[in-house]
């Protein structure tokens, strides 16, 4: 896939929507781990920022109150600013940031995206954050909090963010980027789509921001994570290309396995939120919904189910198959074990955060 930077006209259309369009539906987010609850039903009028002269400010609201965020029973105002951040960029005034009053997440602004870094293909615009770089333009600097120079843990947190947020990742400018929001280009000029765009953008941006805060405050994230499997001894050493090789290798092996059994498989892995990678059909059998995870040989691994995977498992029960392909070696991808589990959520599981469940290998 080929991507290019969006132009100033497109960026200005997005800014105009975010600054001048009311919400069309309620936004509700709960993060038990942070004791956080957010309820939003509208946004305020746009005003000049009280902090930066070249930014505009909008508050989230509920029932005419700007105190929409509750953390540990304390109320906070939540707002977003859009405008110039202070350094030169190809597209002026395209910086978007979230903040609270009073400050609660380390600094006044706790999450940021930059429209001058947004990219597009023929159909969509992708608002993205760099999950390869540790610092600098486009990097998620906030997620480094408390880690000092520990590069391994910084990489682990980014990998966990990509898994838990369930956002699409794309390769742009030789780096991996997490898609915070995706906007259809054709919708930018449709008045009927403006509210849909602001609702989807803001809810996705907020969920991303709170996912980062959850990771920062989560003591469990001390094991190397990849591909939905915790591997305590090996996986942190793998590059992005090696992880992708394992994931694609696992997908290939699973497809071959089920096709030999007479199933016709449809790859739906790029469709966000389904909770499975393959839809399998055979005339004389029930349709199957297959989730694939790949790993390498290790003494101790734990399966991670995202919320959408858990929900799909509960919905389809024995027709939901979780397949963990365990390879002997990263170079030739020779299979060590082909682990197939039906209805994994029917086992004893532990919900460690709103978006994730752990299912231990020994339970099967």
Closest CA to 350 of 337, 335, 363: 363
Q: The whole model's pTM is what?
A: 0.64
pLDDT at 363: 36
Helix axes 194-216, 151-165, angle to 10 degrees: 140
* Neighbouring-strand partners of residue 223: none
Residue 364 CA to its chain's centroid (Å): 28
Per-residue pLDDT of the chain (364 residues; tens, 9 = 90+): 789 999 999 999 999 999 999 998 999 999 887 889 999 999 999 999 877 778 999 999 999 999 999 999 999 999 999 998 766 677 889 999 999 999 988 778 899 999 999 999 999 999 999 998 888 888 899 998 888 887 778 887 887 888 777 668 888 988 889 999 999 999 999 999 999 999 999 999 999 999 999 888 875 554 334 445 544 333 344 566 777 888 899 999 999 999 999 999 999 988 878 999 999 999 989 999 999 988 876 544 567 788 888 889 999 999 999 998 888 777 778 887 788 888 887 876 655 555 556 665 433 3
Q: How many CA atoms lie within 13 A of 281 on its CB side?
A: 4
Residue 332, H or E segment: none
* Residue corresponding to tokens 């020994």: 362
Q: What CA–CA distance (Å, rounded) separates 40 from 97? A: 17
Q: How many CA atoms lie within 13 A of 90 on its CB side?
A: 14
Domain chopping of the chain, boundaries = 4-216, 225-363
Structural fold of domain 225-363: Trna Endonuclease; Chain: A, domain 1 (3.40.1350)
pLDDT at 272: 75
Q: Answer yes or no: are the C-beta atoms of 101 and 79 closer than 8 Å.
A: yes
Q: Answer yes or no: are the C-beta atoms of 243 and 226 closer than 8 Å.
A: yes
Closest CA to 208 of 171, 244, 169: 169
DSSP 91-153: STT-EEEEEEES--SSSSEEEEEEGGG-EE-SSEEEEEEESS-SSSTTB-GGGGTT-TT-HHH
pLDDT at 112: 93
Q: What CA–CA distance (Å, rounded) separates 216 from 354? A: 15
* Neighbouring-strand partners of residue 78: 100
pLDDT at 231: 47
Residue 154 CA to its chain's centroid (Å): 16
Q: What CA–CA distance (Å, rounded) separates 81 from 62? A: 18
pLDDT at 62: 96
Q: Answer yes or no: are the C-beta atoms of 130 and 140 closer than 8 Å.
A: yes
């Amino acid at each position: 896939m080929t991507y290019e930077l969006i132009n100033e006209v497109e960026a200005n259309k997005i800014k105009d929507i975010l600054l001048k369009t009311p919400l069309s539906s309620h936004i509700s987010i709960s993060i038990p781990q942070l004791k956080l609850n957010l309820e939003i039903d509208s946004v305020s009028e746009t005003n000049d920022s009280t902090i930066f002269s070249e930014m505009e400010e909008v508050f989230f609201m509920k029932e005419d109150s700007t105190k929409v965020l509750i953390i540990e029973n304390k109320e906070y105002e939540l707002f977003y600013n859009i405008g110039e951040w202070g350094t030169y960029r190809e597209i002026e005034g395209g910086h978007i940031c979230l903040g609270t009053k009073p400050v609660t997440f380390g600094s006044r602004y706790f999450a940021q995206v930059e429209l001058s870094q947004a990219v597009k293909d023929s159909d969509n615009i992708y608002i993205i954050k760099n999950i390869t770089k540790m610092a600098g333009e486009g990097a998620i600097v906030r997620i480094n909090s408390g880690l000092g120079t520990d590069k391994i843990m910084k990489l682990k947190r980014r990998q966990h963010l990509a898994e838990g947020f369930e956002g699409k990742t794309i390769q742009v400018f030789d780096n991996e980027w997490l898609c915070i929001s995706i906007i259809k280009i054709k919708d930018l000029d449709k008045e009927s789509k403006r509210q849909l765009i602001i609702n989807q953008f803001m809810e996705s941006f907020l969920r991303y921001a709170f996912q980062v805060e959850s990771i920062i405050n989560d003591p469990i994230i001390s094991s190397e994570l990849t591909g939905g499997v915790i591997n305590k001894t090996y996986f942190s050493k793998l590059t992005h290309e090696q992880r992708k090789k394992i994931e694609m290798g696992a997908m290939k092996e699973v497809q071959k396995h089920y096709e030999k059994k007479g199933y016709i498989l449809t790859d739906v892995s790029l469709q966000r939120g389904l909770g499975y990678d393959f839809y399998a059909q055979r005339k004389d059998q029930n349709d199957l919904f297959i989730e694939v995870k790949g790993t390498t040989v290790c003494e101790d691994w734990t399966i991670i189910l995202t919320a959408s995977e858990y929900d799909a498992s509960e919905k389809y029960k024995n027709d939901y198959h979780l397949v963990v392909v365990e390879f002997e070696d990263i170079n030739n991808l020779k299979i060590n074990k082909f682990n197939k589990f039906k209805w994994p959520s029917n086992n004893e599981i532990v919900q460690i955060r709103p978006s994730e469940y752990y299912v231990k290998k020994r339970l099967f």
